[in-house]
Amino acid sequence: MSLFHNGLLQTMKAAYTVEEGDLRVIRPFVYVREVHLRSFADSAHLPVITENCPACFEAPKERHRVKQLLASQEVLYPRLFPSLQTALRPLMARDRTGMESRKKSPTETPVDTDA
């Protein structure tokens, strides 16, 4: 969603330490498909929280719209999910800040790709 709305290719890292350094956040299911997690939760009789992202409360329909877009593209391009994983992996690396892909300032000139 950040790519579409902010022009930034960024994501939360799979594991990181908060600025204060007193808390480490680990996202153990970052590479697992939502459908597989839901199936496991159902079979194990675990509760499922349908919307737990803070952004979902501000724009709940947008996250759903992007999910639908990706699902429709995955029908056409079956390797879309692994390709996206590969593309995002460097952004989630330990030595990255997550902000490597940022908007260019107005003083920076874009590269002319037609030349």
71-97 residue pLDDT tens: 999 999 999 999 998 988 888 776 655
Question: What mean pLDDT do residues 89-115 have?
Answer: 56
Residue 110 has pLDDT above 70, yes or no: no
Rounded CA gap, 78 and 81, in Å? 8
- Amino acid at residue number 59: A
Rg (CA), the chain: 17
Indicate the average pLDDT of the chain: 78
pLDDT band at 26 (very low <50, low <70, confident <90, very high): confident
Name the pTM for this structure. 0.61
What residue spans define the domains of the chain? 2-92
Tell me the pLDDT tens digit for each residue of 31-59.
Answer: 889 899 999 999 999 988 776 666 566 66
What separation in angstroms does the CA of 26 have from each of 58, 62, 73, 80, 86?
A: 25, 26, 29, 25, 19
